[in-house]
Amino acid sequence: MNKAQLVEAIADKVGGRQQATDAVDAVLDAIVRAVVAGDRVSVTGFGSFEKVNRPARYARNPQTGERVRVKKTSVPRFRAGQGFKDLVSGSKKLPKNDVAVKKAPKGSLTGAKPTVKKAAAKKAAAKKATAKKTTAKKTTAKKTTAAAKKTTAAAKKTTAKKTTAKKAAAKTTAAKKTTAKKTTAKKTAPAKKATAKKAPAKKSSARKTTAKKATARKK
């Protein structure tokens, strides 16, 4: 079937040949313009038209067998919908008095879009959850580090206080010992002086004894 035959096939349904021609031209023009612009045209149950970019590659000339480099290009692609495939394969029968492709059956290309969107939404949610977990771990690590720093600072302060208290106690003990030594020295010093004063008394007794001896001799 060519374009003219297509127009003839739908002429009775749209009200005439001219209206059918205009309708076919308008539909085809809209599809071509959308695909050239990079949009995907999807007709429920029928199929989809899209633009596909092909990278540069090497090919062989079928006549000479020579290897030829092919530049990158863009080509249109049509993918039949599941309803169209089912009708062609014979798994479904063509309706006699109704439109062949009317609704998109389950598993068609049109129904695949929400699935892709759902998958993308799930991936985004998973990324957000992972980001939240990572942030929570970082926050916990920061809190732990801060708590460790506070504990270390408190331990240092406590140690400094204990060291100061020990030094103060050592100074007090040293002062007490010094005071005790001075007191002992003071007590010992008068005793020595008293002993020194008593020593001349012995000399006086010796003199008296000598005097008595001398008197006895004279007699």
Per-residue pLDDT tens for 168-198? 677 766 666 666 666 655 555 444 444 445 4
Rounded alpha-carbon distances, angstroms, from residue 205 to 198, 199, 202, 211 = 12, 11, 5, 10
Domain boundary assignment for the chain: 108-189
Average pLDDT over residues 44-49: 91
Contact between 94 and 64 (Cβ < 8 Å): no
Cα(50)–Cα(55) distance, rounded to whole angstroms? 16
Q: Is the pLDDT of residue 110 over 60?
A: no
Cα(211)–Cα(163) distance, rounded to whole angstroms? 74
Q: Is the pLDDT of residue 54 over 70?
A: yes
pTM: 0.43
Rounded alpha-carbon distances, angstroms, from residue 25 to 4, 13, 37, 160 = 11, 16, 18, 94
